[in-house]
A and B are shown apart, each in its own frame.
Chain A
């Protein structure tokens, strides 16, 4: 049982972890360790063999594994250390303010590691059937879309031949196309909400192009089959999202795929004691993407679920830089001296569900800071207004806003400079009458 110290330990070797590592390195940090539980770096991108990644970052259309490889190459070029097949079991804080990581793998056995800073980049998992309270039997043939994706794209197995999909999240949409291409018949995609949770482009390219009907305001009310799925009954739901009797439709199928939402994986974060947002299920972070535990940063889907990996990389870049700065501030100690913080909460209204970051210290913003948020409902003809001390400083017109598409606002140093004694930050969505 060896004890090993690093300046920075990054938990998760997916796109967030990789980009954070590269950014921290480029900011001058050399003592970095990435811990990844899978057998290769790249995270969930390894099973996303469709293209559409990297348009923003590389101005190219790449597949998931190609996008991941760009960042893996950067990690390798820099000689950043990483361990695969390594599961972090818990994280905590030592008395000296160090961050403690307990992990296991076959080769090293039990690892008890210490770091000055941590970056959480564990990604997310899919909401399961159980969390939805779908009644019925529990036969084989019910998969979350991501599990089906892994079975098909990594293992080469076909999970079913006649498929009903519940939920129109992006993975479900992508899998509708993939299953069709692999020889299965996708009968229908049912979505509980009156709008899709996925990207518009995926609805067009994965459902419409293959003639797969999307039934909005529909849900699964029965699963048939005791050993393997034999049929699924869907029904329309009313405004209260409860099934409307008499609207049931039966589908003969052997498979039900669920694409009903992603949940940031924050068991470690909760164990650490960091504050968690009830909206995002991710940690509450400041402008530096630092959690309520100083020196612990978060980025990517562990923080809030993104729809484009490009934004994950960008976010993680910031976390990496800020972690490197934190480590510099530590000097010889295991943690940085506490500082008087001037954290201003980001207030919001008009249908915004959350913002990342949740609080901002105006003195700690570089040239610019992206504030990301999601809305709770589909809205048209709106404007997003950013107010500093109640004064509108930025207005962004949006023709359509939807829960499935992440929104962003850029707060610049320049704008902030005009408000030296800033005490409130607010983002509002207003109707755009013009």
Chain B
């Protein structure tokens, strides 16, 4: 019997797990895919929103602000990449300026600090790349950018080292409430890998959170996957923009953002399209056209020749457009983290802390005396100065062998990604942890080598190595095996 089972190893589930591990108890995260961070948390804008956007009084507004304030410290404690770069919302015409003012007012009510409306001149100073159209902007210096994989993996790893169990390829198929002989209620959890029992459940299943919720509650919810397409530009474009640049929704539609990423790429997106398929992360050419056109309103000379990849993510959109958080009224012990659409990444640590606290109170969990909230991030040789780098390679020669040329990732980093607790098991797993294959050649050069390393480290045949778990095997056999 577990005290808590968390369903879903996205940023929300992993953040809950991490804060829960500060309490004593038996906890387990169940994830239907092969790795953490393989749902929405892997495909989003990666912005730590300042918090002026969410409607005042909403849960989104509350946890956005709290989360935004937690990231700077957390990123140091847990060793993941975060940068406080500030954001700008552009007014593309004079008519848009009242909208900026309304946003600012909403932000101030939400508690966002240092908001400021800047005119064109100051805007050009702050962000020289903006084109000739924008007339003014709302400047939010507290906004930031984060590595969404890095953050999610850090939460998970830290939870794991503090005793939380993780089970992958374990989809939850059914939930029923039961009682023991003493009248204590508990949950029977049917999974693809057998039956488990737990005192409480956290529903952090992303776009599937309605399915989980509706298994136990009469108050039905419906999550609509709202797809967003993105274009990612080469690191060569690093520095093109400094801030995350939004457009105020206006006569041209909702607008798209152009932002640097923590790794020095430039990201453009997202589109917004409601779909049925909860796995429908296929991109569309209409989406690409839309992005290029809208981004072109804010910038005159976007380096669109430098696109290295595109992808899509699914927002877990609920009709009321707010997070659904906490114990379901008609299902004791069932805690929702549902409808976690943007700013869900920003809000995750605040949600995690809150839900962990509620669970601890409900279940009477004492503090975990062995809790260590610190985690060492991956060694990034590129961040070292030359003497440090020389010293590292002397100590660990595998850091002197570069496997991924484009991102200059060494074998040492790849081995670390695989050997760590909750290590990578697939090419995408390696990519999300240490960026091998994330660069301009998109894994063309390094994937054969990484497949070999994975096979050797995991003790499996190369034919079993997958791109991203399941049946995504990279090769189908040996040459002439059927000739």
> B393 contacts A110, CB within 8 Å?
yes
How many Å lie between the Cα of A137 and that of B475 in the bound state? 18
B residues neighboring A (CB under 8 Å): 231-232, 236, 279, 281-285, 287-288, 307-311, 386-387, 389-390, 393-394, 397-402, 405-406, 408, 410, 440-445, 447-448, 452, 462-463, 466-468, 470-483
A150 at the interface (CB under 8 A from B): yes
Q: Complex: how many Å from CA A254 to CA B475?
A: 10
Contact with A126, one of B282, B397, B441 (Cβ below 8 angstroms): B441
User: Roughly how many angstroms separate A226 CA and B397 CA in the complex, as a whole number?
Assistant: 38
Please determine whether A155 and B448 come into contact, CB atoms closer than 8 angstroms.
yes
**CB of A279, distance to nearest CB on chain B (Å):** 12
- Closest CB of chain B to A371's CB: distance in Å? 27
Q: Say yes or no: A182-B441 contact (C-beta < 8 A), given A109-B397, A151-B448, A228-B473.
A: no
Q: How far is the CB of B281 from chain A (nearest CB, A)?
A: 7
Whether the pair A159, B444 counts as a contact (CB closer than 8 A) is no
Closest to A88 in B: B402
Q: Which of A37, A159, A227 contacts B475 (CB 8 A)?
A: A159
| Cβ-defined contact, B467 with A140, below 8 A | yes
Known: A104-B410, A110-B386, A135-B283. 12 other contacts (CB 8 A): A104-B393, A107-B400, A108-B400, A109-B400, A110-B400, A129-B309, A140-B467, A155-B452, A160-B475, A183-B480, A227-B468, A267-B236
Query: Assuming A135-B288, A137-B281, A139-B472, is B479 touching A158 (CB within 8 A)?
Result: yes
Q: How far is B405's CA from A37's CA once the two chains are assembled, in angstroms?
A: 9
Contact at B390–A183, with CB atoms within 8 Å?
no
Question: Would A128 and B481 be within 8 Å (CB), given that A1-B387, A133-B307 are in contact?
Answer: no
Contact A144/B405 with A130-B232, A158-B477, A183-B480 known, Cβ cut-off 8 Å: no
| Chain A residues, Cβ within 8 Å of B405 | 37, 87, 265
Task: Kindly list chain A residues whose C-beta atoms are within 8 Å of the C-beta of B283.
Answer: 135-136
With A106-B397, A112-B386, A158-B478 already in contact, the answer to whether A133 and B288 are too (CB < 8 A) is: yes
The answer to whether B444 touches A156 (Cβ under 8 A) is no
Q: Mark A343-382, 1 if CB is under 8 A from B, else 0.
A: 0000000000000000000000000000000000000000
Q: Provide the residues of chain A in CB contact with B442, threshold 8 Å.
A: 128-130
| Contact (Cβ within 8 A) A139 B467 | yes
Which of B307, B386, B452, B476 has the largest count of A CB atoms less than 10 A from its CB? B476
Assembly CA distance A109 to B442 (angstroms): 27
Q: Are B476 and A135 interface neighbours, CB within 8 A?
A: no
B401, A89: Cβ atoms under 8 Å?
Answer: no
Q: Is the interface of B mostly helix, strand, loop or mixed?
A: mixed
Contact A87 B448 (CB under 8 A): no
Q: Scan A72-104; emit 1 where CB is below 8 A from any B CB, else 0.
A: 000000000000010101000000000000101
A158 near B468 (CB under 8 angstroms)? no
Which of A109, A112, A126, A137 has a CB less than 8 Å from the CB of B444? A126
Structural contact, B476 and A160, CB atoms closer than 8 A:
yes
Nearest chain A CB to B294 CB, angstrom units = 16
Judged by a CB distance under 8 angstroms, whether A152 is at the interface is yes
Contact with B along A111-152 (1 / 0, CB 8 A): 010000000000001101111010111111101101100111
Verify B479–A135 contact, CB threshold 8 A. Answer: no
Min C-beta distance of A378 to chain B, whole Å: 24
Contacts of A107 in B (CB 8 A): 397, 400
User: Within the complex, what minimum Cβ distance (angstroms) separates A134 from chain B?
Assistant: 8
Nearest-neighbour CB distance to chain B for A8, whole angstroms, equals 23
Instruction: With A87-B408, A135-B288, A227-B470 as known contacts, state yes or no: A147 contacts B479, CB within 8 Å.
Output: no
A105 located at the interface, meaning its Cβ lies under 8 Å from any Cβ of chain B in the complex:
yes
A161 at the interface (CB under 8 A from B): yes
Q: Using CB atoms, name the residue of chain A closest to B289.
A: A133
**A–B complex contacts, Cβ < 8 Å, 20 sampled:** A1-B387, A104-B393, A105-B401, A106-B398, A109-B390, A128-B308, A135-B283, A135-B287, A135-B288, A143-B444, A147-B444, A151-B448, A157-B477, A158-B478, A158-B479, A182-B483, A183-B479, A226-B279, A228-B471, A267-B406
Contact of A270 with B by CB under 8 A: yes
Contact partner of B482 (CB less than 8 A), chosen from A125, A133, A183, A254, is A183
Q: How far is the CB of A201 from chain B (nearest CB, A)?
A: 24
Closest to B388 in A: A110
Docked Cα-Cα span, A158 to B443, in Å, equals 17
Measured between beta carbons, the chain A residues less than 8 angstroms from B452 are 155
Known: A137-B282, A140-B466. A130 touches B310 (CB 8 A): yes
Q: Are A159 and B476 in contact (CB under 8 A)?
A: yes
**A133–B480 touching, CB < 8 Å:** no
Contact B471 A227 (CB under 8 A): yes
- Whether A144 pairs with B444 at a CB distance below 8 angstroms is yes
Q: What residues of B have a CB within 8 angstroms of the CB of A146 in the complex?
A: 444
In the bound complex, CA of A128 to CA of B481 (Å): 28
Query: Known: A128-B309, A130-B310, A137-B281. Contact between A85 and B401, CB under 8 A?
Result: yes
Does A135 lie within 8 Å of B284, measured CB to CB? yes
Are the CB atoms of A159 and B474 closer together than 8 Å? yes
Expressed in whole angstroms, the Cα–Cα distance for A64 and B480 within the complex equals 21
B408: chain A residues within 8 A (beta carbon)? 87, 89
Contact A110 B390, beta carbon cutoff 8 Å: yes
Contact flag A183-B483 (CB < 8 Å), given A125-B444, A150-B448: yes
Determine whether the beta carbon of A156 is less than 8 Å from that of B285. no
Taking CB as reference atom, which chain A residue is nearest B387? A1
Give the docked Cα–Cα distance between A125 and B287 (Å): 27
Interface readout for A250-269 with B: 1 if CB under 8 Å, 0 if not?
Answer: 00001100000000010100
> CB-CB < 8 A to A151: which residues of B?
448, 475
With A87-B405, A104-B393, A106-B401 as known contacts, state yes or no: A182 contacts B479, CB within 8 Å.
Answer: yes
Q: Which residues of B contact A105 (CB under 8 A)?
A: 400-401
* Minimum distance in angstroms from A392 CB to a CB of chain B: 36
Instruction: Give CA–CA (A255, B462) in the complex, Å.
Output: 18
A156→B282 contact, CB < 8 A: no
Q: Which 7 A-B pairs have the closest CB atoms?
A: A130-B309, A140-B467, A87-B402, A128-B442, A110-B390, A109-B393, A140-B472
With A126-B444, A182-B483 already in contact, the answer to whether A37 and B402 are too (CB < 8 A) is: yes
Query: Would you list which residues of chain A between 190 and 229 have a CB under 8 Å from chain B?
Result: 221, 223, 226-228
Contact of A110 among B282, B389, B443, B474 (CB under 8 A): B389
- With contact pairs A110-B386, A183-B481 given, residues A158 and B475 touching in the complex (Cβ less than 8 Å): yes
Kindly report which residue of chain B lies nearest to residue A137, judged by CB atoms.
Answer: B282
* Complex alpha-carbon distance, A130 and B283, angstroms: 11
Do B479 and A133 have beta carbons less than 8 Å apart? Answer: no
CB pair A140–B473 under 8 Å, yes or no, is: yes
Instruction: Pick from B308, B400, B478: contact of A104, CB below 8 A.
Output: B400
Q: Which residue of B lies closest to A182 (CB)?
A: B479
- The answer to whether A128 and B441 touch across the interface, beta carbons within 8 angstroms, is yes
Task: Tell me the bound Cα distance from A106 to B393 in angstroms.
Answer: 7
In angstroms, Cα B463 to Cα A132, docked, is 28
Complex alpha-carbon distance, A133 and B468, angstroms: 21
CA–CA, A223 to B312, complex, Å? 14
Partner of B307, one of A87, A104, A131, A147: A131
In-complex Cβ contact of A157 among B309, B401, B478 (8 A): B478
A residues near B481, Cβ cutoff 8 Å: 158, 183
A1 contact set on B, CB distance < 8 A: 386-387, 390
**Contact between A140 and B474, CB atoms less than 8 A apart:** yes
Q: How far is the CA of A146 from the CA of B443 in the complex (A)?
A: 12
Q: How near does chain A come to B311, taking the closest CB pair, in angstroms?
A: 7
**Within 8 Å CB of A89, what residues of B?**
402, 408
Give the Cβ gap from A45 to chain B, nearest Cβ, in Å.
Answer: 16
Judging by beta carbons under 8 Å apart, are B285 and A133 in contact? yes
A81 and B394 alpha carbons, distance in the complex (Å):
23
Residue contact A156 to B479, C-beta cutoff 8 Å:
yes
Q: How far is the CB of A178 from chain B (nearest CB, A)?
A: 9
In A302-353, the 8 Å CB interface with B consists of none
Cβ of B479 and Cβ of A157 under 8 Å apart? yes
A332–B443 Cα distance when bound, in Å, is 44
Q: Specify which chain B residues have a CB less than 8 angstroms from the CB of A139 in the assembled complex.
A: 467, 472
On whether A109 and B476 interact (CB within 8 A), knowing A125-B445, A146-B444, A270-B236, the answer reads no
Least CB distance from B386 to A in Å reads 6
Q: Chain A contacts of B441 at CB under 8 A?
A: 125-126, 128, 144
